[in-house]
């Protein structure tokens, strides 16, 4: 199971990460989206990679949907987005 998770995490592109994190710049309290522009849930591998990289942090548990991890952008995530040539 761990091998499958690591393979999936490796497939998260920098572009996907930047797009998701940049949403936190526009929302109150730097909250990150739970769903993409098509209404699909954000990939859990992307969320886990952002948290492990320090770009996002878990914010609170959603009592209605405990499987949804509500996150917000961190200062490190803001700094990474501010660097134009940064690889996230």
pLDDT tens profile 12-67:
789 999 999 999 999 999 999 999 999 999 999 999 999 999 999 999 887 888 88
Long-range contacts: 25-28, Cβ < 8 Å, 24+?
Answer: 25/73, 25/78, 25/81
How many CB atoms lie under 10 A from the CB of residue 29? Answer: 8
Do 17 and 88 form a contact (C-beta atoms < 8 A)?
yes
pLDDT tens profile 56-72:
999 988 788 888 889 99
Per-residue pLDDT for 8 more than 90?
A: no
41/5: higher pLDDT: 41
Q: How confident is the model at residue 6 (pLDDT cuts 50, 70, 90)?
A: very low
């Amino acid at each position: 199971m761990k091998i499958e998770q690591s393979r999936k995490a490796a497939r998260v592109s920098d572009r996907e990460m930047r797009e998701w994190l940049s949403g936190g710049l526009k929302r109150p309290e730097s909250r990150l989206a739970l769903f993409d522009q098509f209404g699909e849930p954000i990939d859990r591998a992307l969320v886990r990679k952002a948290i492990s990289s320090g770009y996002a942090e878990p914010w609170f548990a959603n009592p209605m949907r405990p499987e949804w991890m509500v996150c917000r952008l961190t200062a490190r995530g803001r700094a990474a987005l501010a660097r134009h040539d940064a690889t996230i």
